[in-house]
């Protein structure tokens, strides 16, 4: 029986992989990976390593989570070193906890290897600090995705009246709704918003707008993309360093 390493792959730029993650990738017998994990990372694996793709695109799972759990478990019965490679960090909307529980219940040992989350690193590559002295003292990371068969919102919109930076993951397809909800709870229509697509990769693109017009401006951006709402977005002008204008 093997050991499973529930491993964060970082947000896109392969150099943002941790040394610890790279070490287990190099000794892996099998790597079970997502769409958001940069496939170039797989080149670091040893000869003979097997690859299993369980791609997830945002919330549209190619494989249901229950099946992914089972794939990991079955591989742990066959191999010594199993790497479960996930985009960003395993615990930030990564369902790493669910996979860990599934394995624990079946007596499989595991380790979590944190990854650099897109929630912080992608704004950073766009020159948008999630906190900044004099502007905001905290930030929130929220899912923009909501279950379709729920009548009312699971997101506690009333909590977002503060000046906290709000980072929405998985929210591009609901951008219009998110912006109008924030206006509804009292944020000004000209409140700054950024949408950052394919962050930390050579295709990264940031679009800056306001709650009123971001939907129109960002409508053709490809996924993965995240949304940053807050005054810190204005710092992009001074701090942009990665994207070519
Ligand atoms: N565990 C991941 C997040 C998984 S949820 C992490 O810690 O980063 C998937 C969402 O993350 C996407 O819908 C998108 O909103 C965001 N995301 C992941 N990689 C991204 C990237 N390179 N650029 C922009 N957004 C990204």
Q: Tell me: the pLDDT tens digits for 106-144?
A: 999 999 999 999 999 999 999 999 999 999 999 999 999
- With H, G, I as helix, E, B as strand and everything else as coil, classify residue 8: strand
The pLDDT of residue 149 is 61
Question: For ligand 1, what atom is nearest to the CA of residue 86?
Answer: 1
Distance 196 CA to ligand 1 centre (A): 10
**pLDDT band with cut points at 50, 70 and 90 for residue 105:** very high
Strands 60-61 and 56-57 turn out to be: antiparallel
Question: For ligand 1, what atom is nearest to the CA of residue 169?
Answer: 15
Residues forming a β-bridge with 31 = 51, 83
Q: Is the pLDDT of residue 85 over 70?
A: yes
Where do the CATH 3.30.950.10 domains begin and end in the chain?
Answer: 118-239
Residue whose Cα lies nearest atom 6 of ligand 1: it is 88
CATH of 3-113, one of 3.40.50.2300, 3.40.1010.10, 3.50.30.30, 3.40.50.10540: 3.40.1010.10
Peptide bond into 224 cis (omega under 30): yes
Average pLDDT score over residue span 39-66: 83
- With H, G, I as helix, E, B as strand and everything else as coil, classify residue 41: helix
Residue whose Cα lies nearest atom 11 of ligand 1: it is 169
Where do the CATH 3.40.1010.10 domains begin and end in the chain?
Answer: 3-113
Architecture of the domain spanning 118-239: 2-Layer Sandwich (3.30)
H-state helical runs in 106-198 = 118-125, 175-184
Average pLDDT score over residue span 97-105: 97
Distance 126 CA to ligand 1 centre (A): 14
The pLDDT of residue 156 is 87
- What confidence tens digit (pLDDT) does each residue in 136-175 have? 999 999 999 876 666 667 788 988 999 999 999 999 999 9
Q: Which residues are catalytic?
A: 34, 56, 170
Distance 175 CA to ligand 1 centre (A): 15
pTM value is: 0.94
Pocket-forming residues, ligand 1, beta carbon under 6 Å: 11-12, 36, 58, 86-89, 92-94, 117-119, 122, 169-170, 196, 198-200, 224-226
- What confidence tens digit (pLDDT) does each residue in 177-236 have? 999 999 999 999 999 999 999 999 999 999 999 999 999 999 999 999 999 999 999 999
% residues pLDDT > 70 (the chain): 94
Q: Is 12 exposed, middle or buried (0-12, 13-18, 19+ CB in 10 A)?
A: buried
């Amino acid at each position: 029986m093997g050991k499973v390493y529930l491993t964060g792959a970082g947000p896109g730029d392969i150099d943002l992989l941790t040394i610890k993650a790279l070490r287990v990738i190099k000794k892996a017998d099998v790597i079970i990976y997502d769409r958001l994990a940069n496939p170039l990372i797989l080149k670091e694996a040893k000869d003979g390593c097997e690859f299993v793709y369980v791609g997830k695109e945002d919330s549209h799972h190619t494989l249901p989570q229950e099946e992914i759990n089972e794939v990991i478990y079955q591989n742990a019965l066959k191999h010594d070193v199993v790497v479960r490679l996930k985009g960003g960090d395993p615990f930030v909307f990564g369902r790493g906890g669910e996979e860990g529980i599934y394995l624990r219940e079946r007596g499989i040992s595991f380790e979590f290897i944190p990854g650099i989350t897109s929630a912080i690193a992608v704004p950073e590559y766009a020159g948008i600090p999630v906190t900044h002295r004099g502007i905001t003292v905290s930030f929130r990371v929220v899912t923009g995705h909501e279950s379709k068969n729920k009548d009312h919102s699971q997101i506690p919109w009333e909590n977002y009246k503060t000046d906290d930076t709000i980072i929405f993951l998985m929210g591009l397809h609901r951008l219009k709704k998110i912006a109008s909800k924030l206006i509804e709870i009292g944020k000004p229509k000209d409140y700054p918003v950024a949408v950052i697509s394919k962050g930390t990769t050579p295709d990264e693109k940031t679009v800056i707008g306001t709650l009123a017009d971001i939907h129109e401006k960002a409508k053709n951006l490809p996924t993965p993309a995240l949304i940053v709402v807050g005054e810190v977005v204005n710092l992009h002008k001074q701090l942009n360093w990665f994207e070519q204008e």
